[in-house]
Structure 1
Amino acid sequence: MNRRTFLRNVGLAAAGALAGCNKVLPEIAAVTNKNNIGSTTTDATSNIIAPLKKIPEWRGFNISDYFQPDPWYVGENTPEELFKYVADWGFDFIRLPVAYPNYLDLAAGQQNINAGDVYKIDETKADKIQNTIYLAQKYNLHVSLNLHRAPGYCVSAGYHEPYNLWTQQDAQDAFVYHWSYWAKRFKNMSTQKISFDLVNEPCYREDVNNTSSKTTAVPGATYRTVAQAATLAIRKENANFYVIADGNNGATDPVSELADLNIAQSCRGYVPYEITHYKAPWVFPDPAYQPIPVWPGEMGGRYYSRATMEEYYKPWIDLAKSGVGVHCGECGAWKETPHDVFLAWFGDVLDILTSNGIGFALWDLKGEFGILNSNRSDIQYEDWYGYKLDRSLLALMQSKK
């Protein structure tokens, strides 16, 4: 349900803590200082400015073990054999969205996060996340660690954050601290094995705790400041680490303000929502009134086809052609979308992406958007060692490698 509030608000328009740990390192503070917005020439930023480089065309899956933004959520651990299946099927990538309260030292059932809680990292909980990463890497899968919920922001609201990532320095300092923490944990790891996806689906919400607060794009200069500071913290530990920034406005729009920072960018494969979220109750409250989607065809008052998808992805393709790494961090469709419509649409989307050197990650590996145990009623599943495998979807994804 990680897209619940964002999709509700923007609808279809887009087709313990150590003493002194809240002190940001001086070289990082120099970047986050509001007087340095947009600067690329200071010594503090010299190790993140490098010749632009492509990222690998990673293809794989998201896993949702730690993504839930509620601090009391306990996810289901992905069994080791699933990582083996992913590798055996020929894929090489796992995106791991994490809500940061999942690795804080919080009271049982604590819902509200306060400023004093944000730096209380529970090493045992962080070890659990690290062990999941190691388990995927055991099968030569690259893992992209993402903060699905970060200090001061989550695309889903309805919880308590002590501050706003986009407007308050304390939140930005905490954001940098968390990325510095994770980069230190993996500083000696090959950059072919891990990357860092800064924050899931950024958008601007005046009140980060209000589910009905209107969302807009984050001001580009603000996004640059936040992303640049976190990237500096990460590359202070290992200058070769891949860093990924999700597109603005919920990962729908490329971010020109980041194009010179050697930061890759991540788009989404959720347009049109009438296909990808057909009858999803957190997006369409009255699914009974939704027309059955078709592909190609008219949906939501607009005709959609491969040509409209090419138009939608053109800014991302242009960004990739300019030398900036581009990846589609999430894509797919919920279980109620007619399977033949889903495959026809998804085949066009994947073909557009991969023919332009852009990899992808299905949301998710297992579950109602996934390739295993998706609970669809309109397909014949293949038994796969006790799991229900959508063989047609697997074959489509394999054909785009």
Structure 2
Amino acid sequence: MKKIFLLFIMTVTTMLCTCNAKSFTIHRGINISHWLSQSDSRGEERIKWFTRDDVKFLAESGFDHLRIPIDEEQMFNEDLTPDSEAFGLLHKALGWCKEFDLRAVVDLHIIRTHHFNAQDKPLFTEKKAQERFYECWRKISAELAKYPRSMVAYELMNEPVADDPEVWNTIVNHCLAVVRELEPKRTIIIGSNRWQSFDTVKQLRVPKDDKNIIISFHFYNPFMFTHYRASWTDMKDIPCTIHYPGNLISDNDFEAMEQSMKNRYGYAAGKNGYNDINTLENQIKQAFDAATQLGKKAYLGEFGVIHGAPEKDRIQWYKDIVSICEKYGIGYANWDYKGGFGIIRNNEKQQQMIDVLTGK
């Protein structure tokens, strides 16, 4: 009887280890923006923003993973003690992912010493800020280490913007080593410098012998189209319609512009010239090739077109991006769920967009 019991224990232990050792694989995902990141909502408003019903809907729609941005100022107090409500919401979300068989990328999106659009970024100049960044990950690991490696991955930081790519390389590799001391086999996602641009992946340095690293890049090209009249950009008052594919500004619209606008939005390669699936593929392939050279998989962690862009053109852009990712085996996560680029707009689901993103 004792031998049977020991055999049972060994079998269960082996099954648990095997389950936890399964690789972290992701294909089609969605960013849960403006919930635990880039939001002033707290209390009941924050709780209601993202619920079990949302996760159920996303799983049933055909997505296989969530990218969950989190901000330091939401998750931690000034003294870096964890905020119990924020981590409680994150734990609930991960529990729902487990319930509906979704994977999750926990993305440290913004920290107090680095915002991708800020002029001052102490993370790159102050040792104290760097140590604080590493300590954030010690604490995040302490909270999340219990989740299976096949289910949860960590993205160390969103859209680093360092003047010198080697500064980012030094910091991110040190952070990787900190997490590896705690979780040697957890999948870690590392983004390239300068807003995770496709053309800066080649500047990344990561350990070649670490098989549990994925390289992330973001893609919003052509920016004038994907951010058409976005209120936070210098294109918020562009006086004409933008097109994709083809010339972003039609010849007629361009000729009708005042000279000041022509100078501002003049035809420049990669800005508002000609774009089609081949243009996009040539750019995305740069990230894929660079990640391959590093011996890693590539992951398109953010991409999207704002809702103000022409609908037919938006859908064609999404079709082209998905087609390129499928061609090269690149996992992706659309930006975003319920924001200005979202698959939910004014509480109504955008079914055509969902079908494109989920391969239906």
| TM-score (normalised: structure 1) | 0.71
* 8 Å CA contact retained: 1:268, 1:329: yes
How far residue 125 of structure 1 moved from its aligned partner, in angstroms, is: 3.1
Partner of 1:257: 205
Q: Which amino acid aligns with 1:395?
A: D
Alpha carbons 2:292, 2:298 under 8 Å: kept: no
Q: Please tell me whether the aligned partners of residues 214 and 298 of structure 2 are also in contact (alpha carbons under 8 angstroms).
A: yes
User: Which one is further off, 361-370 or 283-292?
Assistant: 283-292
Q: Which residue of 2 aligns with 1:275?
A: 225
Instruction: Please say if residues 104 and 152 of structure 2, whose CA atoms lie closer than 8 Å, have aligned partners that are also in contact.
Output: yes
Structure 1 residues 318, 232: closer, same or farther in 2, change over 3 A?
Answer: same
Please give the alpha-carbon distance, in whole angstroms, between the structure 2 residues aligned to 1:81 and 1:56: 24
Superposed, 1:250-399 pairs within 5 Å as 250-252=195-197, 253-254=200-201, 255-258=203-206, 260=208, 262=210, 263-299=213-249, 301=267, 302-322=273-293, 323-372=295-344, 374-375=345-346, 387-399=347-359
1:63 corresponds to which residue?
A: 32
**Residue type at the aligned position of 2:58:** V
Scaled by the length of structure 2, what TM-score is found? Answer: 0.78
- C-alpha distance in 2 between matches for 1:57 and 1:316: 17
**Contact conserved, 1:118 with 1:151, CA < 8 A, in 2?**
no
Identify if the C-alpha distance between structure 1 residues 87 and 164 changes in structure 2 by more than 3 Å, giving closer, same or farther. same
Contact 1:62 1:96 in 2 (8 A): yes
Structure with the bigger percentage of helix: 2
Distance 2:332 2:50 in 1: 20
For the residue of structure 1 that corresponds to 2:108, the secondary structure is: strand
**Percent pairwise identity:** 23
> 228, 232, 236: which is aligned to 2:181?
236
Count of residues paired in the alignment:
309
2:36 partner amino acid: Y
Q: How does 1:30-109 map to 2 (within 5 A)?
A: 56-64=25-33, 65-68=35-38, 75=46, 77-105=49-77
SS in 1 for 2:205: helix
Aligned mates of 2:65, 2:176 — CA distance in 1: 21
Provide the C-alpha distance between the structure 2 equivalents of 1:180 and 1:104, rounded to a whole number of angstroms: 12
Moved over 3 A (4+): 69-76
Q: Distance in 2 between matches of 1:259 and 1:235?
A: 12
Partner of 1:214: none
Q: Give matches, 1:198-213, under 5 Å.
A: 198-204=156-162
Structure of higher CA gyration radius: 2
Paired amino acid for 1:61: I
